[in-house]
């Protein structure tokens, strides 16, 4: 039987960490471990020394199952430069001392706000990214299927970079309209103008665009002579949705070659490359790069690759606590298996369990129904397949061979980018029972569309 709400017997004394308090404490420990512990998580013994609490008490605080006295929590918070607030703990009746207004009232969509309690850390990814962006000329590539948390991770990187004194600029290539993507020159002018706007600087394209030198040269000169020297602070430039250019190879080849050249400039370590060492690049994309790029002109084989994984059972259990739901392993295992650990779908299901007093059986039993919790998500997937009819055959093949099938690489990586697949070597299977059940029912429709 699935319990829909957290059922805990009232205790006579003490307090435990609320979801908000636990999230704040985790974030503080994470940041201090970067500065003081070589980015390694603190051991129980280190936490005991730092808080002057016994390892047994530290464990009790962190498990959040048995109450402790309030001075204990205050001491723990003070050890990490925090002040215990009224919303950080749950009192004797296990209700918030003052009800928090921080719980998400609507399902999360897109980037999770930086101050949200619902962001799930995936160690050591956050630590690796923070360490790398402090290196001159750094390049980080963040790859994961759609709705796996790329932009949420990027937002935290930007916030941490600003805390360290870096300038930041974010460009989403999805904002480039069709006319911009007609020519390399038009796209690179849009790219420079957008970067200027993000940095709060005037657009000076006309001063630096000397066409006889070529568009890539002009773009590089704009950064080298204007944007980068505009401040002594290094610039972290995050480029989101670079998948857009995978469909425009005539632009992508030169643009990605230019980014690789900027990276190489910073790595030369000579006086002429000093200004480029102040540039740190973050590139976000959902699918594998199938463009024919020269080995020495591709930015996708240098720097650091961060491949965001699905949520595991422990992370789902921790997230359930933040939604004030019972963090049982059986339910977490069932949810992970059903949606493949897809972060967006996990958040969506947990939100509905919490907000509408539903059971997990209620949600999963009607998941693929048109009016089910996941109905809108599934209809969006069908819409994507309508735009790419060649993917229908691949989906049908997967429904007919649930044990796995080897697909054409381009089809496989497009479906992976939609969050539909997982791989064992070159063998692809559906990422979760949800997709297997849904597309098994839709197989006939997909085949009929393909025939028309």
Residue 425 in this model has a pLDDT that exceeds 50: yes
| pLDDT over 90 percentage in the chain | 59
Q: Is the pLDDT of residue 249 over 60?
A: yes
Tell me which of 64-68, 157-161, 171-175, 182-186 is least confident.
Answer: 64-68
Could you tell me which of 102, 101, 91, 79 has the C-alpha nearest to residue 23?
A: 102
Share of the chain above pLDDT 70, in %: 90
Please say if the pLDDT value at position 146 is more than 60.
yes
β-strands 167-172, 405-406: how paired?
unpaired
**Predicted pLDDT at 121:** 85
- The predicted model gives 299-309 an average pLDDT of 95
pLDDT at res. 269? 66
User: What does the pLDDT average to over 342-346?
Assistant: 96
How high is the mean pLDDT of the chain?
A: 87
Q: Where is pLDDT greater, at 31 or 73?
A: 73
Per-residue pLDDT averaged across 33-39, rounded? 84
More confident residue, 111 or 107: 111
The residue whose two tokens read 């393909």 is 450
Q: Domains of the chain by range and CATH?
A: 8-102 (1.10.260), 125-307 (3.40.50.300), 375-451 (1.10.10)
Rounded mean pLDDT, 34-50: 89
Instruction: At 138, give phi and psi (nearest 5°).
Output: -65, 150
Under 8 Å between Cβ of 146 and 286? yes
CA distance 54 to 188: 59
With a cut of 50, say whether residue 2 has pLDDT above it: no
- Identify whether 267 is preceded by a cis peptide bond (ω within 30 of 0): no
pLDDT at 333: 96
pLDDT reported for residue 271: 62
Query: In the prediction, which pLDDT does 111 show?
Result: 86
350 by Cβ neighbours in 10 Å (0-12 / 13-18 / 19+) ranks as: buried
Quote the tokens at residue 246: 């995978």
> 3-class SS at 298?
coil
The yes-or-no verdict on residue 286 having pLDDT over 90 is: yes
The least confident of 13-22, 336-345, 375-384 is: 13-22
The yes-or-no verdict on residue 448 having pLDDT over 80 is no
Dist. CA 100–CA 448, nearest whole Å: 51
pLDDT of residue 451: 53
Query: Is 88 or 345 the better-scoring residue by pLDDT?
Result: 345
pTM value surpassing 0.75? yes
Q: How confident is the model at residue 294 (pLDDT cuts 50, 70, 90)?
A: confident
46 pLDDT tier (thresholds 50, 70, 90): very high
Q: What's residue 1's pLDDT?
A: 33
**CA distance linking residue 217 with residue 185, whole number of Å:** 11
Taking alpha carbons only, the member of 377, 371, 369, 396 closest to residue 451 is: 396
Q: pLDDT grade, residue 102 (50/70/90)?
A: very low
Q: What is the structure's pLDDT at 301?
A: 93
Least confident of 111-115, 125-129, 417-421, 433-437: 111-115
Query: Contacts from 422-426 at CB under 8 Å and sequence distance 24+?
Result: 422/340
**164-215 residue pLDDT tens:** 899 999 999 999 999 999 999 999 999 999 999 999 999 999 999 987 889 9
């Amino acid at each position: 039987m699935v319990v829909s709400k957290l059922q805990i017997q009232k205790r006579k004394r003490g307090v435990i960490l609320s979801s908000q308090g636990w999230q704040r404490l985790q974030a503080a420990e994470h940041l201090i471990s970067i500065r003081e512990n070589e980015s390694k998580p603190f051991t129980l013994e280190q936490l005991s020394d730092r808080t002057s609490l016994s390892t047994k008490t530290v464990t009790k605080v962190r498990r959040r199952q048995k109450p402790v006295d309030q001075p204990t929590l205050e001491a723990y918070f003070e050890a990490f430069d925090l002040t215990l607030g009224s919303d950080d703990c749950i009192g004797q009746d296990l209700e918030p001392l003052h009800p928090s207004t921080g719980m998400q009232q609507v399902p999360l969509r897109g980037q999770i706000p930086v101050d949200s309690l619902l962001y799930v850390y995936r160690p050591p990814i956050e630590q690796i990214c923070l360490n790398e962006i402090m290196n001159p000329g750094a390049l980080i590539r963040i790859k994961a299927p759609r709705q796996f948390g790329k932009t949420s991770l990027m937002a935290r990187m930007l916030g941490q970079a600003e805390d360290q004194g870096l300038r930041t600029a974010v460009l989403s290539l999805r904002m480039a309209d069709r006319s911009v993507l007609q020519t390399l020159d038009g796209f690179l002018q849009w790219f420079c103008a957008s970067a200027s706007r993000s940095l709060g600087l005037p657009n000076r394209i006309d001063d630096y665009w000397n066409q006889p030198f070529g568009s890539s040269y002009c773009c590089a000169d704009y950064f080298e002579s204007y944007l980068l020297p505009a401040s002594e602070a290094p610039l972290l430039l995050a480029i989101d949705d670079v998948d857009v250019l995978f469909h425009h190879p005539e632009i992508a080849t030169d643009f990605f070659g230019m980014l690789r050249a900027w990276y190489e400039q910073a790595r030369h370590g000579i006086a002429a490359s000093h200004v480029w060492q102040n540039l740190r690049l973050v590139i976000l994309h959902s699918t594998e790069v199938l463009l024919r790029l020269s080995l020495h002109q591709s930015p996708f084989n240098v720097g650091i690759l961060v491949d965001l994984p699905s949520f595991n059972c422990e992370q789902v259990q921790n997230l359930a606590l933040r939604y004030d739901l019972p963090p049982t392993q059986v339910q977490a295992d069932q949810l992970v298996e059903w949606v493949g650990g897809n972060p967006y779908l996990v958040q969506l299901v947990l939100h509905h369990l919490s907000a509408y007093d539903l059971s997990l059986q209620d949600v999963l039993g009607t998941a693929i129904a048109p009016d089910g919790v996941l109905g809108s998500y599934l209809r969006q997937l069908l819409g994507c397949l309508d735009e790419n009819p060649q993917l229908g055959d691949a989906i049908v093949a997967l429904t007919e061979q649930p044990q796995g099938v080897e697909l054409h690489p381009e089809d496989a990586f497009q479906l992976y980018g939609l969050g539909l697949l997982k791989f064992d070597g070159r063998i692809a299977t559906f990422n979760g029972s949800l997709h297997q059940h849904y597309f098994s029912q839709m197989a006939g429709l997909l085949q009929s569309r393909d025939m028309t």
